[in-house]
Structure formats: C-alpha cells, structure tokens
Structure 1
Amino acid sequence: MKKKLKLWDGIMLVMGSMIGSGIFIVSSDMMRNLGSGYWLVVVWVITGIMTVAAAISYGELSAIYPKAGGQYTYISEIFGKMPGFLYGWGLFTVIQTGTIAAVAMAFGKFAAYLIPWLNDSEPIFQNGGFRITWVQILAIVIILLLTYINTRGVKNGKLLQNVFTGSKILALLGLIIFGFMLIKDSQWTANMSFGWAAFQDLGKEVGNNLLPTGWTEIGGMALMGGIAAAMVGSVFSSVAWENVTFMSGEMENPKKNVVRSMVLGTAAVMILYMLVNFVYLNALDRDGIAFADKNRPAVAASEVIFGSVGTVIMAVLVMISTFGCINGLVLAGARVYQTMAKDGLFFKSAIENNRFDVPAKSLWMQGIWASVLALSGQYGDLLDMISFVIVLFYMITVFGVIWLRFKQPNLERPYKTWLYPVTPLIYLLIGAMFCVLLIIYKPQYTWPGFLLILIGVPVYWFINKGKKGTAE
C-alpha cells in the first residue's frame, strides 16, 4: 500500500473517529445513574485513564506489526485466527457498521433541528413497530456519500477527515470558552455541593421522556453498579481511536507514527470531553443534565449559553462532528475486512484495490450493511449491547502485550509500552471491574453482545471447512 498518511493525518483520524455524537448525549444517562457532579467527573476521569492506557499499550503492538488490519492483525498474530476472526466478525456485523449507523442517525436527528420537516413528516413506510422515516433516509444518504468519496482515493478521505476534525475541535473549544464566559448564573457550586454522595433517580418513564420525581442516596455496591452503568456511555464516546491501526499499511513510518497518533489523539480528546462536561456542570443543574430534552444536555447547555440561537449552533456543531466521525469510521473499517479477505476469512472480492488504490468493494460492503442497520432501527439496541464486547476485545489485545513479553521476549520492539507492566495492568484491572459489574447489575448490556460474537464461531468453522491447519 502507498504511504499517504502522515502523523498529523493519524492524529486527525484518531480524534475524528472518537468525537461523534456521544459527548453531546451520554452525560444525561450518566447523571441519572450517578446524581452527583463529583461522580460524573470521576467516571470521565476513569474512562480517560482507561483509554490512554490502552492506546499506550497498543503502541507496542502497532510497532511490532506495522501493517493494515490493526487490532484484527494483533489478535490473530498473538492468539490465532479464530479469535482474530471473531473480532473481525463483530467489527463488521455491528461494532464498526453499527457505530456508523448510529452516528449517521445522530446526524439526521440534529439536522431535524434545522429542517423541522424531517421530524414532522409522516413515515415513508410503517408496519407495526417498524417504520422508515426521512431521518433514516438522510442517514443512509450520508453513509453512501462518504463511502463513495472514500472509494475515490485515500487523499479525498484524508482531506475530509482533516477539515471536519479541525472544524469540530475549534467548535468544541468555542463551546468550552463561551460556556464559562457567558454563563451568568453558574450551577457549578450546586452540582458539586452533593460532595461524594451519589444518588439514583426515581424518574418515571412517560412516553419517551424521563420525568424527575426525586433522588435517593445510594452507596456500596449500588454505587459500583451505577458507575458501571454510567461508563457504558463514556466508553461508547471514547472508542474507535484504534481505527488508526487499521490504516497502518498506509501510514508513513508506522512503527512510530501510529503510536504517536493514538497517544496524542486520545489524550487530547479526553481533555476536551472533560472540559465539555465542566460546561454542562456550569450551565445546567443536576436535573437539567439528567433530564435534558431528548437526552441532549449539549443542546440544553447551548440554549443557556447562547439563548434561542443555541439550538441552531449546537445542531450545526453536532452535524459537523458526526459527519467527520462517519468519514473516519468508513475510511478505516474497510481495511480490516480487506486484510481478513487476504487471510481467507472474508469475501474474496474485498481483497481488490480499485484504480485509486483503495479497497472499494470492501468499502461498499461496509456501507451497505451500515445502511441496512440504519434502516432497521436496531443499531441503538445493538450498540448498548456491545460496549461490553468492545472492552473485552480491548482487554484481550492489551493482554497480548503482556503475553508476547513472556512468549517472545527477544522479539524486536521498536516501541515499548511506557511504564510496563503498570500501564496494561491498569487497563486490565479497570476493564475487568467494568465487565464484572455490568454482568452483575446490567446483564442486558452484556449477554446479547457476547452471544452475537459467539455466533461467529460456527461461521468461522464453516468458512474453514475443508481447509487444513486453519482452524486454530
């Protein structure tokens, strides 16, 4: 593959893939699970530590295996083809494509702030609970448009990524600055007055809205369960940074630039996320965050900061953010399926590059399946289920760093994990606690995603039926 991506492009890909719609939405659910400004900040700090620790650990593997496929390649090389395939299977069926669909739908829903007709119009088709709306159609148009642009060469995708990521970073910085300058009645002290006490909401669901009816103080294991449930949102907002590893084959000096991209990009995004949450805590009281209209605290905060025009400002910001995020996900994901195809674990046609030196057929397969998920309306349920699975695969990959140190101590390591073994162990410890607490307190977030991955086992055996030495 031609080396067309520089360090700056890698950083923009990391930041652009991470910053989508999550940071503008998830803090509402997090506050309902925690009920305190202190604990909201703590959960974001924990997530930030996890994310950067994983990126630092991945750096060692990216230097050892500086080729396309990233996490799929690492898992396959260290643990065998089946675990690698199960990751790739999950990536194609829901992790990458489901995220593309969800972020595209967020683009459509925020576009409806600017074009109310999108929300007010009748469904194009409806049969029982299934319906097709114009918001879904817009989401699919965006997915297919960005897929097409990326089939015209890496240069186009790179340019879009840099422009839109740069734009949303500047817009977020503007929101942060004005979020402190223009607020007359700060809610910061009130939100922090609860101290280390945590609360669980007693809101009742009415239609699609949760109405505040009071809070009850919680502690002990109930608090731990609340933290785990809150982390589903913060983790979802902080994934996809590993997408840059999928592009290693097209990165200049991948042994150094991939790890630099991951560490610098994740650290910068987590700082931005923390500052945005400070804005929420400054502009809105606890109920204002927890029960923001349609779970959109960013819109509520923007209205307080900028007045009636705030809704439009936030809608434009989220549209820029989600557009760039989708582009990053589309650009990177197809490289994994191409690498799987070369290993005989995906459709053979995904191997081919077109005349622009990009895997066009792999891009279209990804785009079409993401469009199907957007049309089905099931992407949201799927994504709730797979945060657990994403963390499991992160843990497997991070453990691979430790495993390789024992298995192949003399292997050339152009980059070694900073503060090894402390850094990978920090991630493994926090990740394990997150997964165990979810299994205990929120099993609906765990077993369906795990089952989806296990379905990949018979698929793997079917693909390898008749092959010798491949079923590891």
Structure 2
Amino acid sequence: MSNTSPSFKPTLSLFDATMIVAGGMIGSGIFIVSADITRNVGSAGWLVLVWLITGFMTITAAVSYGELSAMYPKAGGQYVYLKEAYNKLVAFLFGWSFFSVIQTATIAAVGVAFSRFTAYLIPEVGEQNIIADLGFIKISAAQLLAIGMITFLTYTNTRGVKGGKIIQSTFTVTKLLSLFGLIVFGFLLAKQSFWSENWQTGFSAMQDFGVKDASGALQPSAGGWQPITGAVLIGAVAAAMVGSIFSSDSWNNVTFIAGEIKNPQRNIGLSLFLGTLIVTLIYITANLMYLHVLPLNSIAFAENDRVAVTAANQIFGNAGTIVIAIMIMISTFGCNNGLILAGARVYYTMAQDGVFFKKTAELNKNAVPAYALWIQCLVASLLCLSGKYGDLLTMVSFVVVIFYILTIIGIFILRKKQPDMPRPYKAFGYPVLPAIYVIMASLFCVGLVWASPKYSLWGLGITLIGIPLYYLAVRNKKQEA
C-alpha cells in the first residue's frame, strides 16, 4: 500500500514513555476497587495478596514485553508481536477486540469515572441529571461530560504528539505526587489506627457481598463474613482480581507508539519496567494505608465503593471528599489522554495490513493518525451511553488477559521461530518468569469464567466475531488488488 502521508516522528523520551505507562495504568480503580476485592476475599492478608499477585503478574508481563518491543520497535505493539509469533488472523482478533471492547470500553469507563467525581464539585453534571429520555435509553449530564472530555482529548491528540505528551507528563506527575501525599498523610494524620484490628483477620479468606438497605446503600449481611476455601476461593480471587487487573492494565500502551519513541529498543523495555514498578508500589502502599485508616467493614462497604473518599474523610475531615474528587479528576483525565493517544496506533497498523478502514492508515499533517483517533472517539462515546460499565470491565479483563497470555507464549515461539533475530533486550527470568505468568493468568481466566461466566464468555464471543470479519476484510483486499 502506498502512503504519501508524513511518517511518525520519534519525539518521546524515556521519561515521556514512562509517564505513558504509569499514566495509562492509574485511573480511578485504586480509589474504588478495594471495596469489591475485600467483599470477595474478606481479610487484610488477602486484600494485600490480591494486589501483590496482580503487581507480580503486571511487572512480569511488562519485562517480558521488553524483549518483543526491542525486536519490533514500530507502531502497533502487541498487534505486531502476535502477527510475528502466530499469524495475521490472531493479530486481527486482538486488534478487533482492542477496538470493540478493550481500549474503547476502558476509555468510556474512565471518562464516566471522571464525570462521577466531577459531580462532587458540580452536582449539575451528575448521573441523576437526565438530559434526555429517549425511552430505550436515558442520557445523563455525566455521560455527556464524559463524551465531551473524550472528544476534547481526541482533538488535542490530532494536533500532534507534542500536545498529548505535555498533558500526559503533567497530569501523571501530578497524580503520582498526590497519591504519594495521600498515602503519607494517611499514615501520619489518621485520627485512629485500625491496623492491628484488621490484621487479626490474617489470611483467613471470607466473603460477604452485603445487602442493600432502604436507601440502596450496601450494608453487611445478617450472616456476616463466611469462610471460603478450595474452588470457591479460586473463583473469589479471580473475581477480586477483575478490579486490580483493570486498575493495573494499559501498561502496554507505550508499545503501540514505538514509532514515536527515541531509541525504542532501549527505552520501551525500560519504561515498561519503571512504570509498572512505580505504580505497583503505589497501589500496594495505598491499600496498606486503607488498612491503617479504616476498619475492614468500612473498606468493604464504603459508600458507592468509594474507599478513598471514606479514607480521606478520616484523614482530612469533610474536606476529604473534595480532595479525592480533584485527585480522581486529574487521574482520569491524564489516564484517558494516554489511552486515546496510544490506541489509535493499533488501528493505523491494522489498516497498513489492509484489514481495517483504509483512511485509518493515513497520517495527517501533524504526523498522527487522525481518522483512527476519531473513530476510536466515536465507539468510546457510544459505550459511554451504555451504562453497563461493571459488565464491560469484566469483559475487558477476561479478553485482555487472554491476549497477554498469547503474547507471552509468543516469546517462546519466536525464540524457536526466529532464533537469529537481534534481541537487544531479553525477557528477564526467561523461561521461568514468563511461564509462571502464563500459568497464573490462565488460572485467573478459568476462575473468572467460574465466577462470572456470562460476561467473561460475552467477551470471548465478541473476540470470535472477529473471525468472519477478518476473512471478509481479506476478501475485500484481494478484490481491490
């Protein structure tokens, strides 16, 4: 395919790349999902262990991706790795899933989280303010604000990578410092410590999904915490990890923009390691702070799962709600900028292969795939209107981990298939650590099907719809040749 558009410009430094990794990972999850994790596994030990397992898996996958990014330092990242290790069909299924569920649904969920917490400061943009009731769907001010935010960031990124880089670095540094500050203040200023009380639960796994009272708020059930073991525990851990994995996902976005990173063979792998390590340490210490500031029941049954808000109110008094609202607005704004910036590069690479919309293969005068950015914006905006964010996250978590597994296995395949290919950076701990990741991630997927079969299998179904779409795209490509 001939392409007279400008080429990608390598303008992003190691710092910029690391901020894209960290900024894409930190959205709203760390402020919320610990409530659901606690309800699933029910002890201080298991709460921390779920985050440790997720952190280990994330860092292991990231340092393994370093080998692949050094071998193929070009736009498209994971799509390219899957194509080289397997074939074009497997790569297309990833790209299709990325477009239909993984990236667009994540952008939508993060956008709506931005709106929900903006409503703390400006109640008029809340979900209760219904702008239009079309019968089959109600459109709230929160959804419109989310769409507006996504559209603004998309426009900014069509103006060139420089503007997106400035937003990403500024907002990521701000949220890293503010999260660090929240953790420190939590340990120093909390009026009362629940540390000893919470750790009396140790590693005794329990569940209590609670009951809703007359106002709809979730309260502990009459039966209280129930011990769990065996297969039920595996399913509970998998269900709990949906939140932690979603909160730790999108670290691989930096691989999609390899064509715009200086010295990509070195800097992509290094940024993957540094970014995932920084975020993992912050996530674990944030949960240790929650255990210090709040009793276990207050973590599990925080109002609307907003654990950080409950903790901040204990630290800062009534001002805590505003502190967290501002932190999450900053966090989600920066997070979505990184997701939007990186995601369009996958569709660009697919179009270069002739299996996506033709115009997506073009770069505008600012050397960015503007058309790809706008169709991503359209799909994400439609998903903002769906209202099914929790269900979307289960589908996203299942599908994204399936493709992580395939990509890590791809390292083993490519060691056999392309033994002489230059590898400036090799997967750390190969073959042991990548193999451990594959086993742990596979157990997660099996456990998630056990715990939430409907939406995990829906995610798989959406992925498989890509098979006829691929052959349709190939046929059209042959007809045009």
TM-score normalized by structure 2?
0.95
Do structure 1's residue 136 and structure 2's residue 143 form an aligned pair? yes
| Residue aligning to 1:27 | 34
| Residue aligning to 2:53 | 46
| Residue aligning to 2:337 | 327
Q: Any stretches of 5+ residues in structure 2 without a counterpart?
A: 1-7
The range that moved more, 440-449 or 321-330, is 440-449
Q: Structure 2 CA distance, aligned partners of 1:269 and 1:208?
A: 34
Report 1:256-335 matches (<5 A): 256-335=266-345
| Residue aligning to 2:102 | 95
Alignment check: 8 A CA contact 2:17 2:268 kept:
yes
Alignment check: 8 A CA contact 1:176 1:276 kept:
yes
| Residue aligning to 1:14 | 21
Q: Give, in angstroms, the shift of residue 439 of structure 1.
A: 2.0
| Residue aligning to 1:238 | 248
Q: Structure 2 CA distance, aligned partners of 1:195 and 1:142?
A: 42
Q: Deviations over 1:80-128 (max 9, x none)?
A: 1111001000111121011001000000000000012223764112245
Alignment check: 8 A CA contact 1:385 1:444 kept:
no
Q: Any stretches of 5+ residues in structure 1 without a counterpart?
A: none
Alignment check: 8 A CA contact 2:206 2:228 kept:
yes
Amino acid at match of 2:248: S
Report 1:50-449 matches (<5 A): 50-119=57-126, 122-128=129-135, 130-201=137-208, 203-206=210-213, 208-213=216-221, 214-449=224-459
Amino acid at match of 1:177: V
Q: Give, in angstroms, the shift of residue 372 of structure 1.
A: 1.1
Q: Give, in angstroms, the shift of residue 382 of structure 1.
A: 1.9
Q: Deviations over 1:332-381 (max 9, x none)?
A: 00111111111101111111111111111111111111111112323442
Q: Give, in angstroms, the shift of residue 26 of structure 1.
A: 0.6
Q: Give, in angstroms, the shift of residue 423 of structure 1.
A: 1.6
Do structure 1's residue 37 and structure 2's residue 44 form an aligned pair? yes
Q: Deviations over 1:306-345 (max 9, x none)?
A: 0000000000000000000000001100111111111101
2:470 to 460, 463, 466: 460
Alignment check: 8 A CA contact 1:102 1:379 kept:
yes
Q: Structure 2 CA distance, aligned partners of 1:420 and 1:348?
A: 39
| Residue aligning to 2:3 | none
Q: Structure 2 CA distance, aligned partners of 1:391 and 1:435?
A: 7
Q: Structure 2 CA distance, aligned partners of 1:121 and 1:427?
A: 42
Do structure 1's residue 451 and structure 2's residue 455 form an aligned pair? no
Q: Structure 1 CA distance, aligned partners of 2:266 and 2:376?
A: 29
Give the secondary structure class of the aligned counterpart of 2:283: helix
Q: Give, in angstroms, the shift of residue 205 of structure 1.
A: 3.7
Question: What fraction of aligned residue pairs are identical, expressed as a percent?
Answer: 53
CA RMSD of aligned residues (A): 1.6
Amino acid at match of 2:282: L
Amino acid at match of 2:30: I
